[in-house]
Amino acid sequence: MKTFCGRANPTTGSMEWLEEGEDYDYHQEIARSRYADMLHDKDRNVKYYQGIRAAVSRVKERSEKAIVLDIGTGTGLLSMMAASAGADFCYAIEVFKPMADAAVKIVEKNGFSDKIKIINKHSTEVTVGPDGDMQCRANILVTELFDTELIGEGALPTYEHAHKYLVQEGCEAVPHRATVYVQLVESRRMWSWKKLFPVHVEAEDGEKILVPPSEMENCPGVPSVCDIQLNQMPSSDFSTLSDVVTMFSVDFSKPVQSASTYYRVQLEPVKSGKAQIVLSWWDIDMDPSGMINCTMAPYWVKPTSALQWRDHWMQCVYFLPREEPVLQGEKLYLTACRDEYSVWYNLQKAREGENKADEEEHKADVPVESPVCRCRAHLLWNRPRFGELNDQNRTRQYIKSLRRVLKTDSVCLCISDGSLLPVLAHYLGAKQVQYMQPSRMDLYHPHEFFKANHLEDKIKIIEARPELLKPSHLEDKKISVLVGEPFFTTSLLPWHNLYFWYARTAVSTHLASNVTVLPQSASLHMMIVEFQDLWRIRSPCGTCEGFDVQTMDDMIKDSLNFRESKEAEPHPLWEYPCKSLSDPQEVLTFDFTKTVPQHCLSTEGSVKLLRKGKSHGAVLWMEYHLTADISVSTGLMQLANEQGNCEWNPHCKQAVYFFSSVIESQILSDPSAVTYAINFDTKTGEIAMHFKL
Ligand code: SAH
CB of 37 sitting under 6 A from ligand 1: no
Measured CA to CA in angstroms, residue 657 lies from 528, 530, 646, 652 at distances of 10, 12, 17, 16
Backbone angle region of 675, left / alpha / beta, with phi > 0 → left and psi within -120 to 50 → alpha? beta
Query: In this predicted model, which residue has the larger pLDDT, 376 or 318?
Result: 318
Tell me: the pLDDT tens digits for 184-241? 999 999 999 999 999 999 887 889 999 999 999 989 999 899 999 999 999 999 999 9
pLDDT for the residue 443:
72
Distance of CA 670 to the CA centre of its chain: 39
CB of 94 sitting under 6 A from ligand 1: yes
Q: 102 C-alpha to center of ligand 1: Å?
A: 13
pLDDT for the residue 567:
83
pLDDT for the residue 276:
98
pLDDT for the residue 121:
98
CB of 79 sitting under 6 A from ligand 1: no
Residue 137 confidence (pLDDT) above 60 = yes
Contact criterion met (CB below 8 Å) for 417 and 438: yes
For the 178-354+362-377 domain, the top CATH level (class) is mainly beta
CB of 34 sitting under 6 A from ligand 1: no
Q: 118 C-alpha to center of ligand 1: Å?
A: 12
Residue 621 confidence (pLDDT) above 90 = yes
Which atom of ligand 1 is nearest the CA belonging to 44? 7
Strand partners for 183:
279
Q: How confident is the model at residue 6 (pLDDT cuts 50, 70, 90)?
A: confident
Instruction: Say how far apart CA 294 and CA 428 lie, in whole Å.
Output: 55
pTM above 0.85, yes or no: yes
Residue 32 confidence (pLDDT) above 80 = no
Residue 657 confidence (pLDDT) above 80 = yes
CB of 250 sitting under 6 A from ligand 1: no
Q: 142 C-alpha to center of ligand 1: Å?
A: 11
Q: Ligand 1 test: best mutation among 145, 156, 294, 543, most atoms within 8 Å of CB?
A: 145
Which atom of ligand 1 is nearest the CA belonging to 143? 1
CB of 152 sitting under 6 A from ligand 1: no
pLDDT for the residue 142:
98
Instruction: Say how far apart CA 104 and CA 79 lie, in whole Å.
Output: 11
CB of 523 sitting under 6 A from ligand 1: no
CB-side exposure of 422: number of CA atoms within 13 Å? 26
CB of 145 sitting under 6 A from ligand 1: yes
CB of 258 sitting under 6 A from ligand 1: no
Q: Ligand 1 test: best mutation among 73, 148, 536, 545, most atoms within 8 Å of CB?
A: 73
Instruction: Say how far apart CA 487 and CA 384 lie, in whole Å.
Output: 12
Which homologous superfamily is 34-144 in? Vaccinia Virus protein VP39 (3.40.50.150)
Q: Ligand 1 test: best mutation among 48, 96, 545, most atoms within 8 Å of CB?
A: 96
Tell me: the pLDDT tens digits for 555-594? 988 887 776 557 899 999 999 999 999 999 999 999 999 9
Q: How confident is the model at residue 466 (pLDDT cuts 50, 70, 90)?
A: very high
pLDDT for the residue 560:
78
Instruction: Say how far apart CA 420 and CA 395 lie, in whole Å.
Output: 9
- Which residues, including other chains, have CB under 8 Å from residue 514's CB and lie 6 or more apart? 480
Average pLDDT over residues 485-489: 94
Contact criterion met (CB below 8 Å) for 616 and 657: no
Residue 415 confidence (pLDDT) above 90 = yes
Q: 73 C-alpha to center of ligand 1: Å?
A: 5
For CATH 2.70.160.11, the residue range(s) in the chain are 178-354+362-377, 521-692
Share of the chain above pLDDT 90, in %: 79
Q: Select from 3.40.50.150, 3.40.640.10, 2.70.160.11, 3.50.50.60 the CATH code of 521-692.
A: 2.70.160.11
DSSP character at residue 31: H
Instruction: Say how far apart CA 338 and CA 399 lie, in whole Å.
Output: 43
Q: Could you list the active site residues?
A: 144, 153
pLDDT for the residue 368:
63
- Ligand 1 atom 9: residue of nearest CA: 72
Helix H, strand E, coil C: the string for 294-349 is: EECCCCCCCCCCCCCCCCCCCEEEEEEEEEEEECCCCCEEEEEEECCCCEEEEEEE
For CATH 3.40.50.150, the residue range(s) in the chain are 34-144, 391-518
CB of 213 sitting under 6 A from ligand 1: no
Tell me: the pLDDT tens digits for 45-70? 999 999 999 999 999 999 999 999 99
pLDDT for the residue 435:
95
- Ligand 1 atom 22: residue of nearest CA: 123
Contact criterion met (CB below 8 Å) for 61 and 79: no
Three-class SS of residue 58? helix
Residue 366 confidence (pLDDT) above 60 = no
Q: Ligand 1 test: best mutation among 95, 142, 160, most atoms within 8 Å of CB?
A: 95
CATH of domain 391-518: 3.40.50.150
Average pLDDT over residues 255-276: 96
CB of 93 sitting under 6 A from ligand 1: yes
Contact criterion met (CB below 8 Å) for 275 and 323: yes
Which atom of ligand 1 is nearest the CA belonging to 154? 19
Tell me: the pLDDT tens digits for 84-118? 999 999 999 999 999 999 999 999 999 999 999 99
Query: In this predicted model, which residue has the larger pLDDT, 359 or 341?
Result: 341
pLDDT for the residue 203:
86
What is the per-residue burial (b if ≥16 Cβ within 10 Å, else e) of 316-348?
bbbbbbebbebeeeeebbbbbbbbebebbbbbb
Average pLDDT over residues 276-295: 97
pLDDT for the residue 19:
64
